[in-house]
Structure 1
Amino acid sequence: MLNEFKQLKEEYPDRVLIASIMEEYNKDAWQELIERVEATGVDALEINFSCPHGMPERKMGAAVGQDCMLLEEVCGWINEKATVPVWAKMTPNITDISQPARVALKSGCEGVSAINTIMSVMGIDLNTLRPEPCVEGYSTPGGYSARAVHPIALGKVMQIAKMMKTEFGNTDCSLSGIGGVETGGDAAEFILLGANTVQVCTGVMMHGYGLVNKLCAELKDFMRKHNFSSIEDFRGVSLQYFTTHTDLVKRQQQAIRQRKAVRKGLQSDKEWTGDGFVKESESMVSN
């Protein structure tokens, strides 16, 4: 992989190359890995604090992403050594994803990425009674991705973006949205929720690299439709429309009262007409 990083930078020196890396819970190992990866010429590092595959069993991956004290410690090791910008990749397998995101940013990371895959069991073979997929009849919970996780990813990104806006304001902290991106509309949704960038993985694996050109074209179509000239014109615009369940109930009740107040119903049976019966009936409905 180190050779591939180096080759990419040599072939595309004007492009940004971000290395997504992970290591076990070991300071020396982390710092050695960072040194070796940076030597290839990468422009930034994404630290995978969220992989659900094997790494949690070794006190890393999602194990760190779910433990804010461990996360703060490891972020300290990394930012002590790194000379390029660092993003922390967040796990969705947690109740409040804004907590580890906050810790990562306060510990020196320039930004956070969200989300990684969601822990799941794909299913059980009702004939063999074995889990699927399996290796020699055995399995382990794994990470679920692609279109199915998109709504969950949007919710997690929204939580992080609101926290970042409230607590970090106009700093240089950034947010990268991940999860089920296959169209320009999918990408636009993440940006509307505050993401600076959007990542695609499973979509490219399923549809090929040509998907990126299609995605970019669709995103530009969306921007032209709304007369946006840059990403910053609409980044985070939709955050203002999120509120609490209690507030939603109040808004609904207020709207009903307002509609009733302006409703022009018939004042007496004498006002009914044959030709206007349908419209006159609709005018009597309160909602």
Structure 2
Amino acid sequence: MLKEFKQLKQEYPDRILIASIMEEYSKTGWEELLTALSKLDALEINFSCPHGMPERRMDAAVGQDCALLEEVCGWVNAKATVPVWAKMTPNITDITEPARVSLKSGCEGISAINTIMRGYSYKAVRPIALAKVMNIAQMMKDEFNENDCSLSGIGGVETEYDAAVFILLGSNTVQVCTGVMVHGYGHVKILCAELQDFMKQHNFSTIEDFRGHSLQYFTTHTDLVKRQKEAIEQRKAERRGLKSDKDWTGDGFVKETESMVSN
């Protein structure tokens, strides 16, 4: 693998090369791996693969345990000399918890998501991926300086529209895996060209012109119930009824009746 990385950097010196890596629960092992990869441009730390070796506390076994995650992120960021993204597992109740721990432990960004248990991926996983990315993006917006960290969206991207939706939900970058496996490496150029066409169609000059724009339209069920209750109370306060029978009018009968209804 190291030989291939070196060859790629020699052949494409002006391109960015990011390695997605994993290691068992060993500080020494992580330090040795990071030293070997120090010439790369960035690293994505895999805390997310459901097919790893949990008995060695690797991959998703770390991503599902915030205490372990904090410790390993500490090892990695103490040694790394390039930006680090932590890749999140979707196989967890609240994905913002490990994402928050990773950022507080020094990671420059978050990648989400990896495969769901038993290999559930590609188009089927896209709705789940979008929900998880939205949750992380909202957390990052509320709790961190967006200029200090980034989010890479993953999960079922096949068209420029898929990529645009991830960006609208806050992703700085978008990754493609199965789509390339199905359509070939040339599909990446097609996606880039089509995304540029999408941006021209909507008069966007840069990704930042529309990144995260859709977050404002999402909320929680609890918030919706609260808003509904407030709206009902406001309508009740406005419905004061009639003070006496002489206030009834022929033309305003319906409106006057509605003003006396409590809900």
TM tier, shorter chain? Answer: 0.7 to 0.9
Verify the 8 A CA contact 2:52 2:60 in the aligned structure 1. Answer: no
Matched, 1:189 2:187: no
Superposition pairs of residues 85-164 of structure 1, within 5 angstroms: 85-119=83-117, 142-164=118-140
C-alpha change, 1:72 and 1:246, in structure 2 (3 Å) is: closer
Verify the 8 A CA contact 2:24 2:57 in the aligned structure 1. Answer: yes
Per-residue CA shift, 1:95-135, capped at 9, x if unaligned? 0000000000000000010001000xxxxxxxxxxxxxxxx
Aligned pair partner of 2:55 in 32, 54, 57: 57
2: CA distance between counterparts of 1:36 and 1:54?
A: 22
Cross-structure match for 2:209:
233
Matched position secondary structure for 1:216: helix
Superposition pairs of residues 1-287 of structure 1, within 5 angstroms: 1-38=1-38, 41-119=39-117, 142-248=118-224, 250=227
How far the C-alpha of 1:35 sits from its partner, in A, is 0.6
2: CA distance between counterparts of 1:143 and 1:201?
A: 13
Which TM-score applies when normalising by structure 1? 0.77
How far the C-alpha of 1:220 sits from its partner, in A, is 1.1
How far the C-alpha of 1:246 sits from its partner, in A, is 4.7
Verify the 8 A CA contact 2:20 2:46 in the aligned structure 1. Answer: yes
1: CA distance between counterparts of 2:16 and 2:52?
A: 29
Which protein has the bigger helix share?
Answer: 2
Which TM-score applies when normalising by structure 2? 0.84
CA RMSD of aligned residues (A): 1.9
2: CA distance between counterparts of 1:244 and 1:87?
A: 27
- What percentage of residue pairs aligned between the two structures are identical? 77
How far the C-alpha of 1:211 sits from its partner, in A, is 1.0
Verify the 8 A CA contact 2:87 2:110 in the aligned structure 1. Answer: yes
Count residues with an aligned counterpart: 233
C-alpha change, 1:3 and 1:173, in structure 2 (3 Å) is: same
Matched position secondary structure for 1:83: coil
Matched position secondary structure for 2:81: coil
Matched position secondary structure for 1:156: helix
- One-letter identity of the residue aligned with 1:44: A
Verify the 8 A CA contact 2:170 2:215 in the aligned structure 1. Answer: yes
- One-letter identity of the residue aligned with 1:112: I
Q: Which runs of 5+ in 2 are unaligned?
A: 236-250, 252-263
- One-letter identity of the residue aligned with 1:150: R
Q: Which runs of 5+ in 1 are unaligned?
A: 120-141, 258-266, 268-287
Cross-structure match for 1:137:
none
How far the C-alpha of 1:247 sits from its partner, in A, is 4.5
- One-letter identity of the residue aligned with 1:74: V
2: CA distance between counterparts of 1:66 and 1:72?
A: 11
Per-residue CA shift, 1:136-172, capped at 9, x if unaligned? xxxxxx3321111011000000000000000003441
